[in-house]
Structure 1
Amino acid sequence: MTLDTDKIDDAALAILSLTLHYGTQVWKGVDWDITNRLHDKGLIEDPRRKAKSLTLTQAGIERARAVLAQEFGKSP
C-alpha cells in the first residue's frame, strides 16, 4: 500500500493543534485525553507510565492499519 503522506501530515498537524498553548506552541506528544480514550477502547496499553512510548494492543494495530488504508491510502 502506498500512503498519501500529505494526508498524514495534515492529520498530524490537526492533532498537534489540539494541544495549542501560549498562542503558537504545541506539545510534541499526543494529548493525554486522547491516549486515555484509546486505552479505554482497548487500543493501547495503560498510558499512565513514565515511559515516553505507548504500546498498541493487537486491536489497536488492526484499527491503525485499517484507518491508514481507508483514510490515507493513495488511489492507484
Structure 2
Amino acid sequence: MTLDPNKIDNAVLALLQLGLHDGNRTWKSFDWDAMNRLHAKGLISDPVGKAKSVELTERGMVESRRLLADLFGS
C-alpha cells in the first residue's frame, strides 16, 4: 500500500493539538519523518534536539485546530 505523506502530516498536526501545554507547546511523540515535514512546512519549530516538545507556529496552531475538527470532530 502506498501512503500519502500529506494525509499523514494532516493527521499528526491535528493530533498535536491534543498534547498542547504552556500555550503553543506540544509533545513531539510522533514519527520523525512527519515531524520534519511539518517543520519544513513552517507549522512547528525544529523537532531536532533534546527538548521533549515543539512549538506550533501561529499558522500551525490555526491549521491544527481546523484539522482536529475536520478529521475527528463529531
Q: So what's the TM-score if we normalise by structure 1?
A: 0.57
| Aligned match of 2:56 | 56
Q: Which runs of 4+ in 1 moved over 3 A?
A: none
CA deviations over 1:27-52 (Å, ceiling 9, x no partner): xx211111100000000011112101
- Structure 1 gap segments, 5+ residues each: 1-10, 13-28
Matches within 5 A, 1:1-76: 29-74=29-74
Post-superposition offset of 1:71 = 1.2
Tell me, in whole angstroms, the C-alpha distance in 2 between the residues paired with 1:45 and 1:58. Answer: 11
| Aligned match of 1:19 | none
Share of identical aligned residues, percent? 54
| Aligned match of 1:16 | none
Tell me, in whole angstroms, the C-alpha distance in 1 between the residues paired with 2:60 and 2:49. Answer: 18
CA RMSD of aligned residues (A): 1.7
Q: Which has the higher strand share?
A: 2
Tell me, in whole angstroms, the C-alpha distance in 1 between the residues paired with 2:71 and 2:48. Answer: 29
